[in-house]
C-alpha cells in the first residue's frame, strides 16, 4: 500500500473539567497523540490533543472543552516535538511537480506562433533589432495609444498619436493584438518628439524623460 497510518499516545495529564457525556460524570484525561503516516515511503508525523472519559474511554468533542482544558491541551502539546522532515519533502515534491507542469504549459504557449511573434514577449536584444528596422510611417502600439513614426534617427524621433485611445467605451484593447490600421486616425497637427534613450534603450514612448512612459507592446513595420 502507498499509505500506512499508526496512532498512539505519547503524553497524558488529568484535568479538572467533568463532562455529562462521561459515565456517572466521571473525570476525564487529556492525551497528546501522534499520528505517523507513511505516504509513498515519506514519513509524515502529526500531533494532536484528545480528551477521553476515564471509565469508558469515550472521546469528548473539542467544542465541549472549557477554556482551562484548551489551555492545558496547548501546554501539553508544546511539550512534544514531531519531525517536520516528511512535510518538507512532500512540499518540495509538490513544488517540483507544479513547477514542472506550469513550465510545460509556458513552453507550449510561448512556442506557438500566436505568442512567439508578439513584440512585448521578445527579449530586449530581439526588441532592439526590430526597433532598429523601423522607419517613417511605421506604427507603434502601447497599452494606451498607437503612434506613427513621422521621422526617426538615433538622435531624434518624432511621432504622431492616434486620436482615439486603445480603450474606449469601457472596452479594453488587447495589448498583444495586431495593430488595426483601419481604426486609426492620427493627429498630424500635433507631432511629438520622444526621448531617444527611452525608445532605444527601454522600449518606451516618453516625450520627457529617459525613464518611465508607455511600454511598447506591438509594432507594425510597413
Query: Using 50, 70 and 90 to split pLDDT, how confident is the model at 148?
Result: very high
Q: Which of 97, 83, 16, 96 is nearest to 51 (CA)?
A: 16
Q: Confirm whether 98 is domain-assigned.
A: no
CB 204 within 8 A of CB 216: yes
Q: Which of 86, 104, 129 is the last residue of a domain?
A: 86
- The range of the structural domain enclosing residue 132 comes to 119-220
List, in order, residues 6 or more apart from 41 with CB less than 8 Å away. Answer: none
pTM score: 0.48
Compute the mean pLDDT over every residue in the chain, rounded to the nearest whole number: 87
Q: Kindly state the cell numbers that stand for 170.
A: 469601457
Give residue 167's pLDDT band: very low, low, confident or very high (50, 70, 90).
low
Please count the structural domains in the chain.
2
**CB burial of residue 3 (10 Å; 0-12, 13-18, 19+):** exposed
Same domain, 56 and 134: no
**Measured in Å, how far apart are the chain's first and last C-alpha atoms?**
65
Q: Which stretch of 117-121, 172-176, 211-215 has the lowest confidence by average pLDDT?
A: 172-176
What is residue 28's three-state secondary structure?
strand
How much of the chain, in percent, has pLDDT values that exceed 90? 52
The answer to whether residue 105 sits within a structural domain is no
Same domain, 160 and 208: yes
140 vs 120: CA distance, rounded Å: 11
Amino acid at each position: 500500500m502507498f499509505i500506512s497510518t499508526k496512532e498512539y499516545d505519547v503524553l497524558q495529564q488529568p484535568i479538572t473539567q467533568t463532562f455529562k457525556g462521561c459515565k456517572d460524570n466521571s473525570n476525564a484525561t487529556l492525551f497528546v497523540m501522534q499520528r505517523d503516516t507513511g505516504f509513498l515511503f515519506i514519513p509524515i508525523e502529526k500531533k494532536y490533543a484528545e480528551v477521553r472519559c476515564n471509565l469508558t474511554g469515550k472521546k469528548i468533542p473539542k467544542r465541549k472543552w472549557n477554556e482551562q482544558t484548551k489551555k492545558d491541551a496547548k501546554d501539553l502539546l508544546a511539550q512534544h516535538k514531531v519531525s517536520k522532515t516528511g512535510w518538507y519533502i512532500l512540499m518540495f515534491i509538490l513544488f517540483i511537480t507544479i513547477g514542472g507542469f506550469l513550465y510545460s504549459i509556458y513552453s507550449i504557449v510561448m512556442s506557438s506562433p500566436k505568442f512567439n511573434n508578439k513584440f512585448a514577449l521578445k527579449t530586449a536584444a530581439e526588441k532592439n533589432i526590430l526597433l532598429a528596422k523601423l522607419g517613417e510611417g511605421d506604427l507603434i502600439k502601447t497599452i494606451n495609444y498607437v503612434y506613427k513614426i513621422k521621422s526617426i534617427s538615433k538622435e531624434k524621433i518624432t511621432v504622431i498619436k492616434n486620436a482615439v485611445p486603445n480603450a474606449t467605451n469601457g472596452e479594453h484593447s488587447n495589448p498583444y493584438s495586431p495593430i488595426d490600421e483601419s481604426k486609426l486616425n492620427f493627429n498630424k497637427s500635433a507631432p511629438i518628439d520622444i526621448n531617444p534613450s527611452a525608445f532605444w534603450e527601454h522600449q518606451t514612448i516618453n516625450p520627457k524623460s529617459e525613464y518611465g512612459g508607455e511600454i511598447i507592446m506591438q509594432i507594425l513595420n510597413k
